[in-house]
Chains A and B, each alone.
Chain A
Amino acid sequence: MTASDSFPASALLDVYRNTLKIKTVDEGLRRLIMSGAIHPVFHPPTGQEIVAASMGAVLEPSDYLCTIYRGLHDQVAKGMPMKLIVAEYFMKTTGACKGKGGAMHLTHPASGVMVTTGVVGSSMPIANGLAWASQIKGDGRVSVACFGDGASNIGAFHESLNLAAVWKLPTIFLCQNNRYAECTTYEDATSSKTVAERAAAYGPNMVGVTVDGNDAREMWTAMRDAVARARAGDGPTLLEANTFRFSGHYFGDQDPYIPKEEKEAEKAKDSIGRLRQQVLDSGVATEADLDALKAQFEAEFEEAVEFARASPDPGLDEIYKDIYGAA
């Protein structure tokens, strides 16, 4: 596969914009949780922003995304409106899932967020189904399945990669490798040195790539190549984005299993600060532009909070709606 090195300044700015938006929503929700305003089971994406930001910068609005419960960054980057996200965290009827899905199940087909699943490993077969539909209809869409390093050891990973390769599906398997499957280290539970090298087991139709997911240039370029390959009908890609999470598995988990030195070393990399500097160095935006962007997202978030607070709770008459099976 040919990987061009060209990374236009406009793409750099797109990645930074998405990153900033994700950071605003993540930090805003943390504040709301810590002030006792909302009570979600929250799996923070803090540290993995640039992976999703790059994905969102490459995908078209009509492309499909299937993500997992650590998916806030993916949902924001895919263009899900802040209001619908925040109102769902407040469990209000105006939320993306009418207040009945909550933080772990945010879904919004209009933005291409087809499912957020709480079942580890289950984003992949669903993405394949959507990709198959696109292949049959010839609509040119690609499907992205996000999952973690832990999910690469689930049976559905193998089944999905195998079938995607056999049918040359336009699926991008985006493994966000944050080194910890809940509280188990990558090395303790994974047989191969990288997740991406497993692609070789699925024959020539599957490509495996490992990148530094917190480096915008590497991540955006790899994503662009994977999407181009899928759209051209050349088959799926297993894209492994190495990243890190700065929080515990869930909000409140004090992560004693992550060595302090490891976390400090990651913090010292200051991936988002470096990205901001790259944007400034490229000349595509000034400090004032980026500050204005931050203020704009913060205002949008506050507006979303007001919207959510003013919205009604779902009534009891909603309890048997939107479910399969008779009451």
Chain B
Amino acid sequence: MSTEVRIPSIGFSTQEGTLAEWLVADGEPVEAGQLLYTLELDKSVQEVESPASGTLRIIAPAGEVYDIGALIAEIV
């Protein structure tokens, strides 16, 4: 079963965020809890952990702005 990675809603007024950088390359193995990507929001930069263990399949490239809930990767 694959696990979806979506742009999270953190904070009250967040509508979108910038996926600044993937910290794991496409096709590489990841562990649950490992830092996966950096997310820039209105007033903060967060390093986001992987929600699952498996192989990372990147869907959305870094450097772009995405809406909350946008599917950016899957862990398969």
- Chain A residues engaging chain B, CB cutoff 8 angstroms: 31-37, 39, 41, 250-254
Q: Is B56 part of the binding interface, using a Cβ–Cβ cutoff of 8 Å?
A: no
Contact across chains for A35 and B12 when beta carbons are under 8 A apart: no
Tell whether, in the assembled complex, residue B12 and residue A250 are in contact, meaning their CB atoms are under 8 Å apart: yes
Chain B residue with the shortest CB-CB distance to A34 = B8
Chain B contact residue count (CB 8 A cutoff): 23
Determine whether B20 belongs to the interface, using a CB cutoff of 8 Å to chain A. Answer: no
Which of chain B's residues have a CB closer than 8 A to the CB of A251? 10-11
B7 within 8 A of A: yes
A35 near B11 with CB under 8 A, answer no
Instruction: Report which of A36, A250, A254 forms a contact with B4, defined as CB distance below 8 A.
Output: A36
**Complex interface: chain A residues within 8 A of B8 (CB):** 33-36, 39
Chain A residues near B14 (CB, 8 Å)? Answer: 252
Residue in B closest to A38 when the chains form the complex, CB atoms: B9
- Contacting pair B68 A34 (CB below 8 A): no
User: What would 13 more interface pairs be, CB under 8 Å, given A36-B7, A251-B10?
Assistant: A31-B49, A34-B8, A34-B48, A34-B51, A36-B6, A36-B9, A36-B71, A37-B6, A37-B51, A39-B9, A41-B12, A252-B14, A253-B11
Inter-chain CB contacts under 8 Å: number: 50
Main secondary structure of the interface of B (DSSP, over half): loop
Shortest distance between the CB of B74 and any CB in chain A (Å): 10
* A253 neighbours in B (Cβ, 8 Å): 11
- The interface of chain B, by Cβ under 8 A from chain A, is 3-12, 14, 32, 41, 43-44, 48-49, 51-52, 68-71
Q: Find out whether the CB atom of B4 lies under 8 angstroms from the CB atom of A37.
A: yes
Known: A35-B4, A36-B5. A252 touches B68 (CB 8 A): no
- In this complex, which of A33, A39, A250 has the most chain B Cβ atoms within 10 angstroms of its Cβ? A39
Q: Which residues of A contact B71 (CB under 8 A)?
A: 36
Q: How far is the CB of B37 from chain A (nearest CB, A)?
A: 11
What are 26 A-B pairs at a CB distance below 8 A? Answer: A31-B49, A31-B51, A33-B8, A34-B8, A34-B48, A34-B49, A35-B3, A35-B4, A35-B5, A35-B52, A36-B6, A36-B7, A36-B8, A36-B69, A36-B71, A37-B4, A39-B68, A250-B11, A250-B12, A251-B11, A252-B10, A252-B11, A252-B12, A252-B14, A252-B44, A253-B11
- List chain B residues, Cβ under 8 A from A37: 4, 6, 51
Docked Cα-Cα span, A114 to B8, in Å, equals 30
Residue in A33, A35, A39, A251 with the greatest tally of chain B CB atoms within 10 Å: A35
Residues on A with C-beta less than 8 A from B70 are 36
Cα distance, A32 to B11, chains bound together (Å): 15
**A39 to chain B: which residues have CB within 8 Å?**
8-9, 68-69
In the complex, A37 Cα to B70 Cα: how many Å?
A: 10
- Nearest-neighbour CB distance to chain A for B29, whole angstroms, equals 17
Provide the bound-state CA to CA distance between A17 and B7, in Å. Answer: 33
A251 to B51, CA, bound (A): 17
- With A39-B68, A39-B69 known as contacts, the answer to whether A33 contacts B3 (CB < 8 A) is no
Contacting pair A35 B9 (CB below 8 A): no
Q: Which residues of A contact B9 (CB under 8 A)?
A: 33, 36, 39
Which residue on A lies nearest to B5, using beta carbons?
A35
| With contact pairs A250-B12, A252-B11 given, residues A35 and B44 touching in the complex (Cβ less than 8 Å) | no
Docked CA distance A251–B12 (Å): 9
In the complex, the chain A residue whose C-beta lies closest to that of B6 is A36
B49: chain A residues within 8 A (beta carbon):
31, 34
Residue of A nearest to B44 (CB): A254
Chain B residues whose C-beta falls within 8 Å of the C-beta of A36 in the assembled complex: 4-9, 68-71
Interchain CA distance A252-B45 in the complex, whole Å = 10
Chain B residues lying within 8 Å of A33, measured Cβ to Cβ, are 8-10
